[in-house]
């Protein structure tokens, strides 16, 4: 049994002025500890956690949406009876955006063991399975979401989601093999999202550093090449005759 006096003494000796440190302390508190009276520093940490949970941000919309809804499996064409289905579809939730149902995908999906706060989930994409249209929640700008170093560029969200699901399903099976002592090396858990997801008009995107070759899925490569060259602002050579015609 832990001695309260010793615990209080230890906390009194620690100068906790950094908000992030208090936030990490608050993450470690159980729901029971948050409900009872506690040391002032722990109470401050719990108050910060409560404030963070009320933040209005894309992560909050995702956390409040419904996980494992049958509509998610239908839209993504996933067999619910598959052992890997729940883990593979963990990033996707069914929520309401402007009064209409959308499937919300957390690009930086938390791990199964995590207890995330809204601010931990920075990028959420809302997808309409009926039209295959998608947009970034809370961000009206046209943007390229870079998920990994893969050379795949997706403008088709369904194709992006299917590759994401397959990647997570493969990890699930390998992890299961590891637990059965059939896999030697431990596997680090990642979100599983691969490639780049284009959100909005390709001509308005700010292009980051890209791989030498890009495989386009759901968009004309000519449009992508044109947008990249335009964004690079490369000099163009003219002859006097060409400039006169232009």
Q: What is the pLDDT of residues 204-220, one digit of tens each?
A: 998 888 888 999 999 99
- Separation of alpha carbons 102 and 138, rounded Å: 14
Q: What is the pLDDT of residues 67-121, one digit of tens each?
A: 999 999 999 999 999 999 999 999 999 999 989 999 999 999 988 877 788 888 9
Say if residue 161's pLDDT is above 70.
yes
Global model pTM greater than 0.85: no
Say if residue 237's pLDDT is above 60.
yes
> Residue 42's pLDDT is what?
63
- Separation of alpha carbons 184 and 187, rounded Å: 9
> Residue 2's pLDDT is what?
43
> Residue 25's pLDDT is what?
63
For the chain, report the end-to-end CA distance as a whole number of angstroms: 84
> Residue 244's pLDDT is what?
55
What contacts 198, CB < 8 A, 6 or more positions away? 144, 145, 153, 154, 155, 205, 219
Q: Which two three-digit tokens encode residue 184?
A: 């030697």
Higher pLDDT, 101 or 3: 101
């Amino acid at each position: 049994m832990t001695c309260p006096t010793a615990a209080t003494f230890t906390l009194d000796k620690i100068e906790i002025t950094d908000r992030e440190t208090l936030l990490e302390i608050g993450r470690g508190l159980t729901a029971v500890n948050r409900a009872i009276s506690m040391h002032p520093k722990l109470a401050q940490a719990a108050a910060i956690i409560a404030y963070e949970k009320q933040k209005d941000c894309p992560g909050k919309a995702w956390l409040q949406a419904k996980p494992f809804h049958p509509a998610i499996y239908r839209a993504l064409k996933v067999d619910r009876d598959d052992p890997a289905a729940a883990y593979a579809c963990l990033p996707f939730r069914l929520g309401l955006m402007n009064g209409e149902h959308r499937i919300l995908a957390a690009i930086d999906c938390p791990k199964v063991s995590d207890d995330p706060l809204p601010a931990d989930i920075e990028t959420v994409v809302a997808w309409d399975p009926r039209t295959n249209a998608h947009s970034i929640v809370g961000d009206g700008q046209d943007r390229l979401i870079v998920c990994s170093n893969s050379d795949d560029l997706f403008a088709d969200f369904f194709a992006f989601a299917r590759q994401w699901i397959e990647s997570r399903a493969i990890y699930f099976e390998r992890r299961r093999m590891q637990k059965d002592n059939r896999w030697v090396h431990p596997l680090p858990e990642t979100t599983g999202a691969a490639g780049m997801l284009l959100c909005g008009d390709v001509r308005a995107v700010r292009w980051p550093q890209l791989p030498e070759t890009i495989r386009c899925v759901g968009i004309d490569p000519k449009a992508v090449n044109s947008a990249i060259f335009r964004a690079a602002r490369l000099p163009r050579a003219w002859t006097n005759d060409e400039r006169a015609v232009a």
